Amino acid sequence: MSRYNTVQTHPLILREQNYLLQKKLISFHSEDRDIKQWPKTNHFQINLPVSLSQVQSMRLINISLPSNQYVFSNSNQNTKFSFTTDINGTPQSLDVEISEGTYDPEELALEIQNKMNYALLNVYGLPNQKFFKCKYNKSTNTFWFGKIGTNTPTSAPTITKFSLDFHKKMNYDTNCDLEVWEKSTNWGFPYYLGYQKKKYISEKTPPNLWFNKNTKDTGGPFGFDYEITDPSISSDGYWLSEHNGNLFIDISNNQCMIDIKGDNWIYMEMGKYNSMDEIKPNSTNTNASFNNDYNGKVNSAFAKIPVGEKNYGSTIFVKSRSLMSNISYFTPPLSRINRLQFKFRYHDGRLVDFKCFPISFVIEFNLLCDEPSKKMNVIVPPQYSHN
């Protein structure tokens, strides 16, 4: 038995340290950045007005973004496509580039149609003549391509077939390191129209008994049933209305709809203070033992921001209640923060092109401050009193 007394009648009580949680709000504007060092608003760094110590957590409180981010742009690599048509028996490959911007379906169909005809007429110097048509089908949410029949002016060249060369990779003059062509989604302009990465060849429009009694006759007027009010009148609802020689790309068995509204979410990165995980998109070999391309991205984003409805020239205001959980906790607390770096991108890594539109947001910082060790009497000035 030990001769020392090991029984303590006065056990040691550990001193607990109490902290006061202090909230600090900082407002950021994209114009606060060093424009020479950070020329674009989708990626920039800002020095804080005061160093923050003992940062326990932070979150995005609100943010304002341009409503109309361009869906079609050079940076998104989705403004070009190629098609081939025979001119008097000689195949001619032509490239089309639409204007950057955001379109509704009818506007985009007209843009495509005009640019296809312009590409052809620019080569052969035939002004004010239309050969190709692009039509939006509201019922199936698809785009259709056609070539007007033989009642075009006799001076026009003969076109007996055409193809959409959506299997052809288009080149873009961009500094973006991300190559979209190899992806399974958003890989180029045809994807947004609901087409696949292949060549589509035209054929004559199906037989129309209203104009050709012989059921084998093809190339007659063609339109969508929901638009045709009087089938016996070729101009009444037929978007290819000539009596013969009409060509079209048949996508009646196509399984994809158009996707021209753009991304619904923007991911905000904040340097090394991200806390949200993501799964890498466009995987094709996740079950294989070798060359498995599954990849999860840990701490890849700080906040996920809903874009909402896009309206030209307007601004999206998103508050914390509209945001998904975007609060980042730090254990132990961060000892000091002097500067922050921000990046705005989509899930697949494409940077958001704000087109010089200013953005603004507020971040809440929660700081741990030592609780005062002694009782303090606080005198409240009369102007702070509430009745």
Cis peptide before 157 (omega within 30 of 0): no
**Do 238 and 244 form a contact (C-beta atoms < 8 A)?**
no
Do 217 and 278 lie in a common domain? no
The separation between the first and the last C-alpha atoms of the chain, rounded to the nearest angstrom, is 71
Please indicate, yes or no, if residue 334 is contained in any of the structural domains.
yes
> What pTM was estimated for this model as a whole?
0.82
Give the start-end residues of each E strand in 106-259. Answer: 132-137, 142-147, 162-165, 199-201, 203-204, 222-223, 238-240, 247-248
The residue assigned the tokens 């084998």 is 216
Residue 150 has which token pair? 């033989």
358 shares a domain with 307: yes
CA-to-CA dists, residue 112 to 116, 119, 172, 182, 375, angstroms? 6, 11, 18, 24, 75
Question: Are residues 220 and 359 located together in one domain of the fold?
Answer: no
In a domain, 150, yes or no: yes
Q: Please report the pLDDT score of residue 6 as a whole number.
A: 57
Q: Helix or strand or coil: residue 119?
A: helix
Residues 195 and 173 grouped into a single domain? yes
- Are both 49 and 113 inside the same structural domain? no
- Is 286 inside any structural domain? yes
Quick check: helix, strand or coil at residue 10?
coil
Question: Are 85 and 232 members of one domain?
Answer: yes
User: What CA–CA distances, in Å, run from 376 to 14, 19, 125, 372, 379?
Assistant: 24, 16, 88, 8, 10
The answer on 184 and 91 residing in a single domain is yes
Do 102 and 182 lie in a common domain? Answer: yes
Residue 275 resides in a domain: yes
Angle at 105 between CA 135 and CA 316, to 5 degrees: 175
Q: In terms of domains, do 221 and 104 share one? A: yes
Residue at 75 is within a domain = no
Per-residue pLDDT of the chain (387 residues; tens, 9 = 90+): 555 555 556 565 555 667 788 899 999 999 999 999 999 999 999 999 999 999 999 999 989 988 778 999 998 999 999 999 988 778 899 999 999 999 999 999 999 999 999 998 887 766 567 889 999 999 999 999 999 987 555 556 678 899 999 999 999 987 766 889 988 899 999 999 999 999 999 999 999 888 877 778 899 999 999 999 999 998 889 999 998 899 999 998 887 899 999 898 999 999 999 999 998 887 766 676 676 667 788 999 999 998 876 655 556 677 666 555 578 889 899 999 999 999 999 998 899 989 888 999 999 999 988 766 556 666 667 765 544
Structural domain total, the chain: 2
Question: Same structural domain for residues 126 and 206?
Answer: yes
Looking at the fold, whether 240 and 329 belong to one and the same domain comes out as no
Domain membership of residue 74 (yes or no) is no
- One DSSP character per residue, 247-309 reads EE---TT-------S--SEEEEE-GGG--EEEE-S--S-SS-SSS----EEEEEESEEEE--S
Are 309 and 366 within one domain?
yes
CA angle 323, 326, 332 (to 5 degrees): 160
Question: Taking the CB of residue 30, how many other CB atoms lie within 10 A of it?
Answer: 21
For residue 312, the model assigns a pLDDT of: 54
| Among 248, 278, 295, residue at a domain's last position | 248
In the three-class reduction of DSSP (H, G, I as helix; E, B as strand; rest coil), residue 15 is classed as coil
Tell me which residue range forms the domain holding 136.
80-248
CATH number at residue 58: 2.60.120.1100
C-alpha 326: how far from chain center:
21
